[in-house]
């Protein structure tokens, strides 16, 4: 089954400083058909106004991966983690036994990001935070694993979830495939451009859920940038 979740079908909120769209149902007013996929429970498309952001707040027992699409994200947390994450790069943290953090936009333009929440394998672990650059040129027409809790993904940011987050940039006319394992789920979201997934068109900020699908083929209709979550 492939289920398109296009931008117009997503619920969300507009707080002036924050414009958010929810690819997965978070509240009673969200689209009930947009159910979680295994350990993948949240994928939010957020836009944060300049000079604003999320003040210090807490999380527990969740793996949170942030993919910056545009602008600059400034992160501070109670483990001592501190950094700025530029467009195309990734941060991830294990909330574990408890972490407090803030995320703000220090730039003069909008900050646009995807935030991905995954249920952890283990509860109560020591919290940790990490970030890493992933040059877009290295993702040209191929998948690069950005964050992962699966064996063998040694170059990715480590997370404590049975999942991996991948990214690719595609040149118009090029295509790449991805094998989804048995009893696993896939969710692809388009950061930029337009693609087809197994023949179904997706435009920028659209998503598509894959369940009981052994393989997806992503073909670039325009130059495009995509993010894929593979989760059990």
DSSP 8-state code for residue 212: S
| pLDDT (0 to 100) of residue 31 | 85
* CB distance 143 to 174 below 8 Å: no
CA 80 vs CA 47, 104, 127, 129, 130: distances in Å: 26, 16, 11, 9, 11
Provide the residue-wise pLDDT of the chain in tens; the chain has 232 residues.
Answer: 999 999 999 999 899 999 999 999 987 778 888 999 999 999 999 999 999 999 999 999 999 999 999 999 999 999 999 999 999 999 999 999 999 999 999 999 999 999 999 999 999 999 999 999 999 899 999 999 999 999 999 999 999 999 999 999 999 999 999 999 889 999 999 999 999 999 999 999 999 999 999 999 999 999 999 999 999 9
* CB distance 229 to 184 below 8 Å: no
| pLDDT (0 to 100) of residue 26 | 81
CA 229 vs CA 77, 103, 157: distances in Å: 25, 22, 14
Exposure letters 119-152 (e unless 16+ CB within 10 A, then b): bbeeeeeebbbebeebeeeebeeebbbbbbbeee
CA 101 vs CA 54, 57, 109, 111, 166: distances in Å: 9, 6, 22, 17, 24
CA 179 vs CA 99, 113, 194, 206: distances in Å: 34, 26, 21, 21
Q: Which two tokens stand for residue 187?
A: 């969710």
Domains, the chain: 2-231 (2.60.120.10)
| pLDDT (0 to 100) of residue 59 | 97
Residue 9: phi and psi, rounded to 5, are -90, -5
* CB distance 9 to 22 below 8 Å: no
């Amino acid at each position: 089954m492939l289920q398109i979740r296009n931008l117009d079908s997503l619920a969300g909120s507009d707080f002036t400083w924050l414009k958010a769209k929810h690819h997965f149902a978070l509240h009673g007013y969200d689209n009930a058909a947009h159910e979680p996929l295994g350990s993948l429970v949240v994928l939010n498309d957020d836009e944060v106004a300049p000079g604003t952001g999320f003040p210090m707040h807490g999380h527990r027992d969740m793996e949170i991966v942030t993919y910056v699409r545009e602008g600059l994200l400034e992160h501070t947390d109670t483990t001592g983690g501190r950094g700025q994450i530029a467009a195309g790069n990734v941060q991830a943290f294990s909330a574990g036994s408890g972490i407090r953090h803030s995320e703000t936009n220090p730039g003069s333009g909008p900050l646009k990001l995807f935030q991905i929440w995954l249920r952890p394998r283990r509860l109560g672990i020591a919290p940790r935070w990490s970030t890493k650059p992933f040059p877009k040129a290295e993702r040209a027409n191929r998948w690069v694993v950005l964050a992962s809790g699966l064996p063998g993904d040694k170059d990715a940011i480590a997370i404590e979830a049975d999942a991996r987050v991948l990214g690719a940039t595609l040149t118009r006319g090029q295509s790449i495939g991805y094998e989804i394992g048995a009893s696993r789920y896939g969710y692809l979201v388009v950061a930029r451009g337009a693609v087809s997934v197994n023949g179904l068109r997706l435009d920028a900020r659209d998503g598509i859920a894959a369940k009981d699908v052994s393989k997806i083929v992503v073909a670039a209709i325009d130059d495009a940038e995509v993010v894929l979550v593979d989760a059990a």
